[in-house]
Amino acid sequence: MTSRAHTRATDPWTSHSAADSIADVTPLQYRLLQCFDVEMAMTDEELIKVYACTWGNIWPATDSSIRSRRSELVAMGQLLPTHETRKTRAGNRSIVWTRNMVLL
């Protein structure tokens, strides 16, 4: 299911442009993008935690589903890797992802 993000007629042109840039995302992908609007840059592990705190009670999603949707957003150009990595709880290095600000 894809739909255009909601904007009001009174919203500035930048809001309409942002809505158009995410017109082809699924509801879960849209919620993940909203998580990045709050935290700006996160690893998959951090994204899973933010999603659970923000949306998990209303729209639960598995860790695997969140990682897969994040990967799709990268393929769509909505998210980009930063030049930073952070350690996971297991001690492994993980890529830090951020919104593609050119599309905003």
Sequential pLDDT tens for the chain (104 residues):
444 455 677 777 666 666 655 557 899 999 999 999 999 999 999 999 999 999 999 999 999 999 999 999 999 999 999 999 999 999 999 999 999 988 76
Euclidean distance between CA atoms 51 and 66, whole angstroms: 8
> What is the chain written as a DSSP string?
---PPP--TTS-HHHHHHHHHTTT--HHHHHHHHHHHHHSEE-HHHHHHHHHHHTTTTS---HHHHHHHHHHHHHTTSEEEEEEEEE-TTS-EEEEEEE-GGG-
The pLDDT of residue 19: 61
User: Which pTM does this prediction carry?
Assistant: 0.77
Give me the domains of the chain, ranges plus CATH numbers: 25-103 (1.10.10.10)
